[in-house]
Amino acid sequence: MTKTILLALLIGLTFNASAYAIQDSKKVEHTPSTQQLLSNLQKEIEATTLAIAKNESSKNKDITELNYAISLPEKQYANLGLLVNLTIKDQGYQVISVTPGSDAYKLGIRVNDFIQKIDGVNVGELSKKAVIGTLYKVNPDDVISLGVESKGVYQEIVVKIHGVLLPAIRLNVGKN
């Protein structure tokens, strides 16, 4: 009986998810890239819900009363857009990745550049925790000064971190 209910629920979930795909209530036209990301999100939600249903069913739990809600407030997300190798700092911390379009990229920081100073302090005088705190735990409108060596040329760069607004997230799974 439980397996029959599970199968019926999963079939209903699949058909309902297809029929009621993620939709923008304001009918805003999204870029093809955003449409693909939203489609991928829907598939991930379906796959996760299926895994939950299988897990609960394997424990002989009745999933017909499954009800789960996720609600996250909107927030600002900020990221400088670079990744540095923190294991060697002879010449400074070597940049090993720069996100295209990021603040770091727009300032001309590239892979194999060396971060030699952060906020006027030589990186050799900073703990790894301080470096991580400054480079990776940034907020929108933070201002960071970086001493960067690129192809033998040193320059001081001041960057104001830009943020991206992440919209609020509300997701209900199961019966309301």
* Residues spanned by the domain of 145: 78-163
DSSP assignments along the chain, one per residue: -HHHHHHHHHHHHHHHHHHT----TT-PPPPHHHHHHHHHHHHHHHHHHHHHHHHHHHTT---TT-EEEEEE--EEEE---EEEE-S--SSSEEEEEE-TTSHHHHTT--TT-EEEEETTEEGGGS-HHHHHHHHTS--TT-EEEEEEEETTEEEEEEEEPPEEEEPPEEEEEE--
pLDDT of the residue at 25 = 58
pTM above 0.75, yes or no: no
Closest CA to 101 of 77, 81, 76, 78: 81
What's the total number of domains in the chain? 2
Claim to verify: residue 51 and residue 93 sit in the same structural domain? no
pLDDT of the residue at 26 = 65
84: domain CATH number?
Answer: 2.30.42.10
Claim to verify: residue 99 and residue 54 sit in the same structural domain? no
Q: What is the mean pLDDT of each run of 10 residues along the chain (176 residues)?
A: 39 41 65 90 91 90 85 89 86 93 92 94 90 87 94 94 89 80
